[in-house]
Amino acid sequence: MSATPTLEIRNLHISIDGKPILKGLSLAVNKGEIHALMGPNGSGKSTLANALMGNPKYEVTEGTVFYKGEDVLELSPDERARKGIFLAFQYPTAIPGVSVANFLRNALNVRRKELGEEKPIPPKEFRTLVKEKMALLRMDESFAGRYLNDGFSGGEKKRAEILQMAVLRPEIAILDETDSGLDIDALRIVSEGVNALTGPDLGVLLITHYQRILNYIKPHFVHVLVDGRIVKSGGAELALELEAQGYDWIREDRAA
């Protein structure tokens, strides 16, 4: 494990419209690690995802977020993305008129520039890259010509998010309830895509309500978020306990 975590959250407090949501959350994620953040509805999971990417609706009232040792709280969402932080949205936005391929090419060229590559990716190299990543996700090549998320099914939207992750090669990927709205076949395909991308150069924060995606994506660490705080951490077996017992037993332990 590196001395400096790739992503380090220290004592983070977040409010929305003056209402506290996160109340002192601390967490460190290194490249090569998969962390699952689980919790009941309303515990603050998606608040964390949005705050990490700089959504201005989420006010940081205390605490810090470091990415590779740099405080990123003053950076805009696009600056964070350029540096290598990626968020797969729970509800991806449709962009009519912009094809998947054009969106990916522009995003990749911005990311390349951040990494010191001034020249845009050559068209032939880009087409080869996208075909390779689409095959990984079992996506038909015609998908690249469609408008981004416009008329996409839930499964197609989530696969488009993972395709972006595959092409952009971030160092930290935050997956916000990627399993929501997916049938079992789409869940398996998306999970296989995530697994194919994980490795020593990527740290993953997988935010989920249910254990079922963890049948496919095996976390190294599981954290339980209740009422804006991480109240329990453990290995993959903790997710199985939650599946069997729900979240009430953790609330009862805290109350005891």
| Per-residue pLDDT tens over the stretch 161-172 | 999 999 999 999
Phi, psi of 237 (to 5 degrees): -65, -25
Residue position matching structure tokens 């959504």? 55
Amino acid at 62: E
For the four alpha carbons of 242, 245, 248 and 250, in that order, the dihedral sign comes to: negative
CA distance 32 to 157: 26
- Average pLDDT of the segment spanning 216-230: 94
More confident site: 42 or 7: 7
Amino acid at 43: S
Q: For the domain covering 7-255, report its CATH number.
A: 3.40.50.300
Report pLDDT for 250.
Answer: 73
Report pLDDT for 1.
Answer: 44
For the stretch 72-88, pLDDT in tens is 999 999 999 999 999 99
Residue position matching structure tokens 């990494």? 115
Model confidence at 9: pLDDT above 70:
yes
